[in-house]
Structure 1
């Protein structure tokens, strides 16, 4: 079974892998197939949102009194992923009710605080992996039958202690993650080289304006809200400062930076490498700027107690301090222009997981130019 593809970055050959979400979907599908057929199988094929099919091996198959259990071992490829080689288990048992019931066991965390993609009280299985599990099981489950599928990751209890999950309010284990089903290598040098190469190619093609986004969500947001094709965006990951330096070096005249409030509040405070492990100052910068807008101290404490900016947004909106979004967008744009000594005009677009929040003063004009370039 060959589930990896090779990618080449900076002359290095790197191997892709697959996510915990893919492992959970494959284990679930395999367990249900064996439950219904009464026969063991050694592998199962699933689709991924990336469009790459995977054929994954089923291990530790056990027939229990009330169902069938098996696991898939995660392969993160050449990505330095803390969850590489963990065993993701699924247990399937028949139910009287038709349809699929999804539950979780040991090592899968539970969300305890607001502000994440999953509401408090729910298992930490993100929306895309959940959809993958339901799709794959649904393909092999007859309409008149029902199953309960329990996902567990026994090693997740210990691994979670080496992640940011406890700080985010995810307790008891890790999250089941993945938006594409595929793990792509995250070498810092390789990522920066990719950013530089993409900017260089665009400049060579005669472009002098560019859209920078942290990741795929920013691409989709700009396509849906501003009709800018994803192909016009350059994904910079956490390397905002590096990307700006390259824009200056290559002679770009105008840049739009579009990103989530939780990312772009950091450069508004002078931080240009935005990885949360290095610069986890979102709430401090947001709270300080709200204080300058005269938000009462009691509410400032509420904001500081939030785990994410997404959690803070409903509080800000309820209290009528939406002006903060424009303040942050403008400060981010000014700081970024200052970072490249005013050589590049910069506009900033801020959004949440649900809507656009604000644009800086130059954003509309630069957006229009990028759209028609």
Structure 2
């Protein structure tokens, strides 16, 4: 079968910068307010902002802008005697908590697109004097899109964030999700959460909520390796990784991503490991699920030992990936054994 070439896309930041350029070019020619709309180019990544409409308004006054209702201060740039103010319109979030790249109470537009906008403004207005412009960045239905993100948890209210470092969203890496995980880890570290909880699945999230509030919990999806890599790189003091025994078995077997499209549990190897560590041979002919194996081991009094084996091996695997990692894996079933 011929391998499909996956599509790349562009970040919300790249689209916003392109729209701003178009607006500024038009305004400088016509000397009138301008507006540019663009739809975020689709790609083969997992990204809730795919296809969203980004709207940039540029005017001499902000009185007609439809702004995010959250209190905000505009990003303000000066270039000689000229100035530019950038506001969050409807659908673009406003930062309300510390710990992100943008401080409160400013529009959630990341430094990379902000710098690109400032640079273009500098270039195009260098021969002008006393030009004072107002810019409003909006996203159609951005408030609804934001409900599918972690924005409200980290204090970005009433809209999405305008992101983008390299400008290109690579497919398959699910970079948008991983970027979100990175933001949440940074936020938790900056706000003093220790330990930070990584959860995989709704049950794990509910358990973590018994120990921490949502700001200290990061839902990592299936991106185990990528998330632990981020925690290690960002020097999180302690991370507790919670998931069920099925997914944790995949971790100990070396799966960096626990989604089924990356492979299934090797039950023959699991059978051999149980024989070696617990001196018992499970029947994998009649049950090819970890839950079924757990039930069999419970009948012979080896369930707790099985939990301990899976947890120990998973933690060993994490150390193989990152020897300096401060991530500790705990299976949900084992939390009862540990007296949680």
RMSD between superposed Cα atoms in Å: 4.7
3-state SS, counterpart of residue 125 of structure 1: coil
| Among 5, 17, 27, the residue aligned to 1:13 | 5
* 8 A Cα contact 1:118 1:124, kept in partner: yes
Q: Which residue of 2 aligns with 1:161?
A: 147
Deviations 1:273-310 (A, max 9, x none): x679896589769xx6xxxxxxxxxxxxxxx4572589
3-state SS, counterpart of residue 46 of structure 2: coil
Q: Which residue of 1 aligns with 2:122?
A: 138
Alpha-carbon offset, residue 103 of structure 1:
1.8
Q: Does 1:22 align with 2:14?
A: yes
Q: Which residue of 2 aligns with 1:178?
A: 164
Question: Counterparts of 1:81-120 in structure 2 under 5 Å?
Answer: 81-94=47-60, 98-120=82-104
* 8 A Cα contact 2:91 2:158, kept in partner: yes
3-state SS, counterpart of residue 43 of structure 2: coil
3-state SS, counterpart of residue 168 of structure 1: coil
Closer, same or farther in 2 for the Cα pair 1:69/1:281, shift >3 Å? same
Which protein shows a greater Rg?
2
3-state SS, counterpart of residue 238 of structure 2: helix
Q: Give 5+ residue unaligned stretches, structure 1.
A: 1-9, 40-65, 192-213, 217-236, 239-258, 289-303, 311-324, 351-358, 361-373
Q: Does 1:347 align with 2:255?
A: no
Closer, same or farther in 2 for the Cα pair 1:183/1:163, shift >3 Å? same
Closer, same or farther in 2 for the Cα pair 1:30/1:346, shift >3 Å? closer
* 8 A Cα contact 2:197 2:217, kept in partner: no
Q: What count of residue pairs does the alignment treat as equivalent? A: 218
Q: Which residue of 2 aligns with 1:338?
A: 313
Q: Give 5+ residue unaligned stretches, structure 2.
A: 62-77, 219-234, 243-309, 329-340
Q: Which residue of 1 aligns with 2:238?
A: 328
3-state SS, counterpart of residue 152 of structure 2: helix
Deviations 1:84-110 (A, max 9, x none): 111111111247961322222111111
Query: What CA distance in whole angstroms lies between the structure 2 residues aligned with 1:305 and 1:140?
Result: 47
3-state SS, counterpart of residue 153 of structure 2: helix
Query: What CA distance in whole angstroms lies between the structure 1 residues aligned with 2:42 and 2:202?
Result: 20
| Among 215, 224, 242, the residue aligned to 1:307 | 215
| Among 48, 71, 81, the residue aligned to 2:37 | 71
Deviations 1:63-100 (A, max 9, x none): xxx61111121103222321111111111124796132
Greater share of strand residues, 1 or 2?
1
Closer, same or farther in 2 for the Cα pair 1:18/1:341, shift >3 Å? closer
Query: What CA distance in whole angstroms lies between the structure 2 residues aligned with 1:280 and 1:84?
Result: 27
Closer, same or farther in 2 for the Cα pair 1:331/1:27, shift >3 Å? closer
Query: What CA distance in whole angstroms lies between the structure 2 residues aligned with 1:276 and 1:143?
Result: 57
Deviations 1:133-158 (A, max 9, x none): 22233332235343222211122122
3-state SS, counterpart of residue 313 of structure 2: helix
Closer, same or farther in 2 for the Cα pair 1:93/1:77, shift >3 Å? same
